[in-house]
Structure 1
Amino acid sequence: MANWSDPRVNAAPAATRAGVADAAFDAGLRSYMLSVYNYMASGVLLTGIVALLFAESGLAAQLFVTPLRWLIVLAPLAFVMVLSFGINKLSTTAAQGLFWAFAGVMGLSMSSLFLAYTGSSIAITFFATATAFAALSLWGYTTKKDLSGFGTFLIMGVVGLLVASLLNIFFKSPALNLAISAIGVLLFAGLTAYDTQKIKSMYFYVAGTDFAGKSVVMGALTLYLDFINMFTFLLQFMGDRR
C-alpha cells in the first residue's frame, strides 16, 4: 500500500485554525469599533450636558459679550492640536483624559447655540443629525467600496469651507452663509462614511499593539468632530432663532 497522506486530513485542522483566527479577528474588530462609538457618543453627551448647564446658569450670556468668548471658542482647538500632533508621546490614559477635557471645553463653546436657537429646534436637529450619522457610519462600515479616493476631495472641501466662512465674517452675505451651511452638511456627511471606513481599516494595523487604546481615542475624536460639525451646519437650516 502506497505511503501517502490524504491532503484533506492535514488541511482540515489548518482550515479550522484559520476559521477560529478569522472569528477572533472579527470579534476584536467589533469590540474596537464599539469602543470608538462608545467614546464618541459619551463625548457628545458630555458636551451637550455642559453646554446646557452653562447656558442655563447665565454665565454663557455674560461671558460671550466679553473678550473672554475667544478663549472659550478657541480652547477646543488647542486640545485637538495636542491630541493630533502629540498622540505618539501621550499614554493611553493621558489621551483619554484629554479627550474628556476636550468634550467638556467644547460644551462651554457650544453653549452659545442655546443663546441663539430655541431648545426645541436644537433637540430636533440633534436627533436628525444622530439618525443621519448612524446611517452614514453604518454604510461606511459595511460598504465594500473603497472610499479612500474621496478623502483628499473632502478634506480640500473642508479647507475651502473654512476660507469661505472666514471671508463671510466680513461680507456678511446671507446667501453665502446658506451655501456654506449646505456644503458643510454634505462634506461632513461624506466624511462620516469615509472616516468610519478609515477607522475600521486602522484596526488591521493596531490590533494587539500598545497603540490600540490611543487609536480608539483618535477614532472617537474624528467621528465626534464629524458629528458636531454636521449638527452645527444643519442647525443653521433647521434651527429657529430666538
Structure 2
Amino acid sequence: MAQFDTARVAGVRSAQIDEGLRAHMNKVYGLMSLGMLVTGGVAYTVGTNEALLAQIFGSPLRWVVMFAPLVVVFAFGAMINRLSVAAAQGVFYGFAALMGLSISYIFAVYTGVSIAQTFLITAIAFAGLSLYGYTTKKDLSGMGTFLMMGLIGLIVAMIVNIFLGSPAIMFAISVIGVLIFAGLTAYDTQAIKTEYIQHAAHADQEWLGKSAIMGALRLYLDFLNLFMFLLQFLGNRE
C-alpha cells in the first residue's frame, strides 16, 4: 500500500512537472516569437526607407549598429540576475529592436520575395530541429562545448572578413554558420527543457520568468542567425 501511495505521489508530481514544462516552453516560444516580430518590424521599417538606410549604413554609425547587439547580449547575460523580470523582458525587446536595425540592410540587398521564402524555410527547419531537441532521448549536452568553440571561431572569422571582404571566406562562414546554428537549435531546446526539470521542484516565479526570457533569447539568436546564413544561399539580390 505504501509503495502504491509513493508511486501515485510520484505520478502526480511527474504530471505537474510535465504541465509546468509545457507552460514554460510555450512562454519561451511566445517571447521568442514576439522578439522576432519586433526585429522584423524594425528591419522592414528602416530597410524600406532609402534615406534612413543611407544615413545609417553610409556613415560611421554603421559600426555602432553592427557591433552594439553583440555588446548588449553579453551585458544582458551578465546582468540578468540583478534585473527584475519586467526589466529583463524590456531589455530583450530592446535588443530585438536593435537587431532589427542591424539587419535592416537586407531589404536593400535582397528581393522581398526571397527574404520571405528564406524566412519560411528557416521557420520550418527551426521547428523541426527544436522539436527534435525537445523529444529526443539522446543527451545532446556533449555537443555544447564543440558548438560554442565553433561559434567563437565563426565570430572571429566574420570580424576578420569585414576587413578582407573575401567571397570564398564568406561562403565558408555561411556553410559553417548554418551547421552550427542548426546544432545549437536542437541543443538549446534540450538545455532549456533540462534546466526546467532540474529546477522545477524548487524554482520560484522570478527564476521561471527570467529562465523563460533567457531561453527565448537563446532560441531567438539561433533562429535569426540560421535565417541570415541561409539568406546568403537562398536570397536573390536586387
Answer yes or no: same fold by TM over 0.5: yes
Q: Following the alignment from structure 1 to structure 2, what is the Cα–Cα distance between the partners of residues 74 and 173?
A: 20
Tell me the residue number matched to 2:27.
Answer: 35
Q: 2:45 aligns with which of 48, 53, 65?
A: 53
Tell me the residue number matched to 1:6.
Answer: none
Tell me the residue number matched to 1:177.
Answer: 170
Contact 1:199 1:219 in 2 (8 A): yes
1:157-204 deviations in Å (ceiling 9; x for gaps) = 111112222232333222221111011000100010011111111102
- Percent of pairs identical after alignment? 56
1:1-242 to structure 2, matched below 5 A, reads 9-58=1-50, 59-207=52-200, 208-209=203-204, 210-242=206-238
Q: Following the alignment from structure 1 to structure 2, what is the Cα–Cα distance between the partners of residues 179 and 81?
A: 26
Return 5+ residue gaps in structure 2 as ranges. Answer: none
Q: Following the alignment from structure 2 to structure 1, what is the Cα–Cα distance between the partners of residues 63 and 161?
A: 18
2:213 maps to a residue whose letter is V
1:20 maps to a residue whose letter is V
1:9-59 deviations in Å (ceiling 9; x for gaps) = 333332222211111110001111111011111101110011101122331
| Secondary structure of 1:70 counterpart | helix
Q: Which runs of 4+ in 1 moved over 4 A?
A: none
CA drift at 1:118: 0.9
CA drift at 1:82: 2.3
Contact 1:206 1:215 in 2 (8 A): no
Q: Following the alignment from structure 2 to structure 1, what is the Cα–Cα distance between the partners of residues 70 and 156?
A: 17
Return 5+ residue gaps in structure 1 as ranges. Answer: 1-8
Aligned-residue Cα RMSD (Å) equals: 1.3
Q: How many residues align?
A: 234
| Secondary structure of 1:66 counterpart | coil
